[in-house]
A and B are shown apart, each in its own frame.
Chain A
Amino acid sequence: GENVEQHPSTLSVQEGDSAVIKCTYSDSASNYFPWYKQELGKRPQLIIDIRSNVGEKKDQRIAVTLNKTAKHFSLHITETQPEDSAVYFCAASFSGSARQLTFGSGTQLTVLP
């Protein structure tokens, strides 16, 4: 089955700096890659996703890039703000299946004021 590895496990940045979180996946058939943000004690919330036919997608301060050849994808957050502090999870799935998501282990992002 699919295996998703996520790095780093913790990341601290100064407010206004950029943050980058990286994930690699094992199943070349995976074609959907979402990112979730989870605040303490809350449910995961989808923040951005990308399909395998696209190399990059942006939504305001958030962007995701995908390298299918290397089987890795990354989340980029620019101009970080204290409210960006949370745990971020990457995931991967194959749309031809029941779309079961395999999640990475998470990155605790702390934005220091």
Chain B
Amino acid sequence: NAGVTQTPKFRILKIGQSMTLQCTQDMNHNYMYWYRQDPGMGLKLIYYSVGAGITDKGEVPNGYNVSRSTTEDFPLRLELAAPSQTSVYFCASSRTGEGDYGYTFGSGTRLTVV
């Protein structure tokens, strides 16, 4: 049981490049989330999903896209990378049942756009 796995752990992108941050979970959680954490700040919600085929925007979705074709995978796509997207990205998942609301976070992807 690996929990939530994110790849890559580190990445440097040039302005205008694109990339996909991978996130997969093996806990059969329906809810999944992408957050970004800027230095010295809290986490801001980018996108979330309540199940396969269903995604919705969070607080800061501009410049990002997601898809959820399976329960396990929730990749985050960055198109035309900008320096403002330099951040640490965390994927998380959560159960849907009563009594357990806690998030399980991945280990994060540290992205630098130069």
Contacts and interface: CB of A to CB of B under 8 A. Distances in A.
Contacts of B41: 105-106
Nearest to A42: B107
Contact of B40 (A32, A42, A103, A106): A106
Interface centre among B35, B49, B102 (most CB of A within 10 A): B102
Interface string A92-107: 0101001111111110
A89 B107 CA distance: 17
A99 B101 contact: yes
B50 A93 contact: no
Interface string B92-107: 0010000001110111
Contacts of B26: none
Contacts of B33: 100-101
A101 B59 contact: no
Interface residues of B, number: 24
Given A43-B107, A46-B102, A93-B101, A98 B42 contact: no
A43 B42 contact: no
Contact of B102 (A4, A43, A49): A49
A43 B45 contact: no
Nearest to B4: A43
A84 B23 CA distance: 29
Nearest to A34: B102
Contact of B45 (A6, A100, A104, A105): A100
Interface string B40-71: 11111100111000001011000000000000
A34 B31 CA distance: 17
A1 interface: yes
A8 interface: no
B74 interface: no
A100 to B, nearest CB: 6
Given A34-B101, A99-B94, A89 B45 contact: no
21 contacts: A4-B42, A6-B42, A43-B107, A45-B105, A46-B102, A49-B101, A49-B102, A89-B42, A93-B101, A98-B50, A99-B31, A99-B94, A100-B45, A101-B33, A101-B45, A103-B42, A103-B43, A103-B44, A104-B42, A105-B41, A106-B40
